[in-house]
Amino acid sequence: MPLDVAGAALGAAFGEGFAVLHDKVKDVVRKARMFKPILKRLESTLDSLVPTVNEIRRLSEQLELPERETKRLMEQMEEGAKLVSKCLKIRWWNYVFKVQYSPKLEELDKEILRFCQVDLHALCTRNGLRTLETVISINKKVDSFRGVETPRGLGGVSGPQDLTVGLDMPIKELKTLLLKEEVKLLLLTAPGGCGKTTLVKMLCQDKEIKGIFEDNILFVNVSKTPNVKVIVQNLFNYKDMQPKFQIQSDEDAIDQLSHLLNHIRPNPILLILDDVWLGSESIPEKLKFDIPDYKILVTSRTAFPRFEFTYHLEPLNDEDAMTLFRHSASLKEGSTYIPPEEDIKKIVRGCAGFPLVLKVIGGSLCRQKAEVWHSRLMNWSDGQFFFNSDTELLDNLQKSLEFPDHKVNIKNCFMDLGSFPEDQRIPAVALIDMWAELYELDEDGIHAIAIMEELTNRNLARLVMAGKDASEVKSYYNEDFVTQHDILRELAMHQSSRESIGQRSRLIINISGNNLPKWWTEQKQQLISARLLSISTDELFSSSWCNIQGSEVEVLVLNFHTNNYTLPEFVEKMDKLKVLIVSNYGFFHSKISNFQLLESLPNLKRIRLEKVSISSFCNTLVPLTSLKKISLFMCNIGEAFENCTIQVSNALPNLTEINIDYCNDLEGLPVRLCDIVHLKKLNITNCHKLFALPEEIGKLVNLEVLRLRSCTDLSELPNSIRTLHKLSILDISDCLSIMKLPKHIGEMCNLKELNMKGCLRLRTQFPESIMDLKQLKLVVCDEERAKLWDPIKEFLSNLEVLVAEKDINLNWLPK
């Protein structure tokens, strides 16, 4: 027999003999009065040797167990098991047998101890090199898998060791979801530092959960580089059992786990897989079996879409956050220093309800003097980050930013979110514009939305999408936006600030009052190499700029709060600028001056203006020969394009897309815009005072998309729309005042999609020409309008009429 096979056989036999003796002693010690002291001692010896015996069985191939000595010990254990069984039959008054059996039990106890403490030690020394190799292998596995928790109390999962707050309701909600019959696999997800593991440990201590699953709660920390074989082996070790045969592959491991779970039934089983990373989401599914009352609870920073049942753990509310911070900072009577309540609130607000952040920041200020508190507050208010002084916090949160090389753009996009002010919605279309130019993503935004969804799944941001009809899923994102926790925004900004100012690829500047950063004021002209430049100012800023030489800037984001705003002079020299986003977050609309600076920018393709007044736009309109897209959101347009000194079509010769959204003073589409014959997309949405379109709209012969959704005062479409032969999408959804379709709508020979849901006054039969819309594939409408299409579907055989579901939500409302 080969040596390794012999060793394996001996190891298995040795383990079986030990298990028989161990079980026999445990059974008899509860019943035999006469030999109780020595049996208790023997039981204690055997208990202490369980890990060693398990190790002998697991490593038997490497250890070359000595056949002669091992067989002798095995024979003694077999005899010992018989001896212990006889002890149970001896009456308490029969001292003759006590004198006869006691020395034998003593000898068995000594022999087992001697073998494991002396022989085994000498054996390991002799086989040092092979043992070292095994240990290295074990260490590698331990590094990648932190194992099943040592049993401490029922279920083997210890409760949290520190103060916990704000988890009563999440425990109740999580438990309710977990105990539903249809839930076999449940995902608990939240950003790093939100307390997922703490919540799960508290769940395991819940009386109802403990009562249902008893001692069948198995807790595994999966970690970043999991190994299915090691996970399963540890589960066997946890139950003091061994697989039926040696685990050689993941398939073996899964098969053996199925046997284990069936063995520990019929009690319900809860398997907790803690800290499952992106890329390992298939492991929970591999460990899922069709076993009654068997459930898997997974925790992860990633909200895996493939999991049907998910519970999102939210950050702490203000009250709970304050409680946890006070505890972590030891702010109680008798403390060395208790800062003013307002200072405490400032710090707690900055922690964004993340338990980890509250604990780390609170701990760093614990028992500190007033000077330390004041210093920290000043640093944080000056734009220095929590992460600069708390490496534990940074290390933990940075784990969420580990992306494979082929997904490096996702990390870059995450850091780009720091370009927008905190606590503000980030328009999805603004991000689409940025990323299309920075990372060469598609113009329609499909890939950009996919990135936003992945950031959402990783709990690094949250994409909020309005209810979409079938025709809009791949094309219309004007009502969608992204939100982000302040602490994650700080992390994004911190990651972007690692290099020196001049070397950063993404430069984010936040200005309070007129206090420009020192690095900016120290030199008359600051040279930067950033591709993305974001400058945010508050309501006290007076538009007094220092100079920046940003010849490499491709995207410029300007955020402000003032009623009058002046574009910085240095914009004029940004020759590579492709995207300009100007957003006013103040209460009133703002007037912008220096707009003529844009004339010198040969590569400017996209402009987005938010909450600005452009009533005198024509007075400053300059030729923007490369501009392809202009977006106006919540702007005062007024007479913006009337009385222009320059022809609009000459000033914007390559413009292909115009978006006008929530511009409440727009009553009629400016006629001059109809001269832009190259226009392909015209979106006028949520403009409730728009009552008419000019007949001149028929001049837009290259128009492919026309959206007029939620223009509630618009009463009709002009007959000239018949000339839009390239139009493929027409959206008049929620245009409440439209009573009829144009008589010659059938001449729009390329129309493929028509969205007319919510057109409540459109009750009359459609014009006869509608039968000529041979390319029409999809109509979206409500039930009443769908009936009007029934006779038409007989003539348009490829037509699908989709009845839109009512989507009642307020996500679309601007904040």
Helix (H, G, I), strand (E, B) or coil at 300: strand
Q: Quick one: tokens of 191? A: 């950003």
Out of 441, 463, 485, a domain closes at 485
Task: For residue 25, give its domain range.
Answer: 3-143
What is the per-residue pLDDT for 776? 94
Total structural domains in the chain? 6
Percentage of the chain surpassing pLDDT 90?
A: 31
Cβ contact 466:710 at 8 Å: no
Instruction: Assign residue 365 the CATH number of its domain.
Output: 1.10.8.430
pLDDT for 531-576, tens place per residue?
Answer: 999 999 988 888 778 888 889 999 999 999 888 888 999 999 999 9
pLDDT value for 474: 56
Q: What is the mean pLDDT of the chain?
A: 79
Angle between helix axes 341-350 and 355-365 (nearest 10 degrees) is 140
- pLDDT score of 129: 38
**Shared domain check, 336 and 262:** no
Ramachandran quadrant class, 66 (left: phi over 0; alpha: psi -120 to 50; beta: rest)? beta
Q: Using the predicted structure, report yes or no on whether residue 62 has a pLDDT greater than 90.
A: no
pLDDT over 60 at 668, yes or no: yes
Which 8-state DSSP code applies to residue 726? T
CA geometry: angle 447, 450, 456, nearest 5 deg: 150
User: What per-residue confidence (pLDDT) applies to 61?
Assistant: 43
Q: Is 494 a domain residue?
A: no
End-to-end CA distance of the chain: 78
What CA–CA distance (Å, rounded) separates 489 from 350? 11
Distance of alpha carbon 355 from the chain centroid: 17
Regarding whether 136 and 19 lie in a shared domain, the answer is: yes
DSSP code for 117: I
Residue 386: pLDDT band by 50, 70, 90 thresholds?
A: low
User: What is the spatial distance between Cα 433 and Cα 607, in angstroms, rounded to a whole number?
Assistant: 9
Render 436-465 in DSSP notation, one character per residue.
HHHS---TTSHHHHHHHHHHHHTTS-EEE-
Least confident of 204-208, 390-394, 665-669, 774-778: 390-394
Return the pLDDT at 36: 66
Task: Report pLDDT for 718.
Answer: 94
Would strands 753-755 and 729-731 be described as parallel, antiparallel, or unpaired? parallel
Reply yes or no on whether the pLDDT at 149 is more than 60: no
CATH of the domain at 449: 1.10.10
Tell me the C-alpha distance between 795 and 799, whole Å: 9
Asked whether residue 652 carries a pLDDT value surpassing 70, the answer given is: yes
Q: 597 and 535: one domain?
A: yes
- For residue 360, give the 3-state DSSP assignment: helix
Greater confidence (48 vs 520) lies with 520
Residues 340 and 470 placed together within one structural domain of the fold? no
pLDDT tens track for 730-771 = 999 999 999 999 999 999 999 999 999 989 899 888 899 999
**Helices 250-263 and 228-238: angle between axes, nearest 10 degrees:** 20
pLDDT digits (tens, 9 = 90+) for 765-805: 889 999 999 999 999 998 889 999 988 888 888 899 999 87
Give the list of residues 6+ apart from residue 582 with CB closer than 8 angstroms, or none.
558, 565, 567, 592, 607, 608, 609, 610, 612
pLDDT of residue 127: 46
Examine the domain organization and report whether 420 and 362 are in the same domain: no
Of all residues in the chain, what percent carry a pLDDT higher than 70? 75
Q: How far apart are CA 476 and CA 661, in angstroms?
A: 13
The pLDDT tens digits of the residues spanning 35-56 come to 667 777 777 677 666 666 665 5
Residue 634 located in a structural domain:
yes
At 92-124, the pLDDT tens digits run 445 445 556 667 777 776 777 666 554 554 444
Residues 322 and 307 reside in one and the same domain: no
More confident residue, 429 or 79: 429
Residue 436 is predicted with a pLDDT of 94
User: Is position 694 within any domain?
Assistant: yes
Q: Does residue 299 share a domain with residue 330?
A: no
- Tokens 């032969």 identify what position? 725
pLDDT in the model for residue 371: 82
Q: Note the pTM of the prediction, 2 decimals.
A: 0.64
Residues 127 and 244 placed together within one structural domain of the fold: no
Do 194 and 284 belong together in one domain? Answer: yes
pLDDT at 136 over 50: no
Average pLDDT of span 408-420: 90
Q: Using the predicted structure, report yes or no on whether residue 376 has a pLDDT greater than 80.
A: no
- Please, are residues 177 and 186 in contact by the beta-carbon 8 Å criterion? yes
Contact by Cβ (8 Å): 234, 147: yes
The span from the CA of 261 to the CA of 300, in Å, is 24
Q: Classify each residue of 188-226 as buried b or exposed e, where b means 16 or more C-beta atoms within 10 Å of its C-beta.
A: bbbbbbbbbbbbbbbbbbeeebbebbeebbbbbbbbeeb
Q: Which helix (H) or strand (E) holds 682?
A: strand 681-685
Same domain, 326 and 307: no
* pLDDT tens for each residue of 311-362: 999 988 989 989 988 888 888 766 667 888 888 888 888 777 888 788 777 8
Any domain includes 148: no
pLDDT at 148: 40
> In 503-535, which positions are buried (b, 16+ CB within 10 angstroms) versus exposed (e)?
ebebbbbbbeeeebeeebeeeeebebbbbbbbb
Q: Is residue 654 part of a domain?
A: yes
Distance CA 784, CA 745 (A): 21
Sheet order of strands, 185-189 included: 217-223, 269-276, 294-300, 185-189, 309-312
pLDDT tens profile 216-269? 888 888 866 677 887 887 788 767 777 767 778 888 888 888 888 888 878 899
pLDDT digits (tens, 9 = 90+) for 474-495: 578 888 999 887 777 878 888 8
Helices (H), 368-472: 370-381, 391-398, 408-416, 428-438, 446-457
Helix (H, G, I), strand (E, B) or coil at 729: strand
The pLDDT, as a whole number, for residue 728 is 95
Same domain, 631 and 615: yes
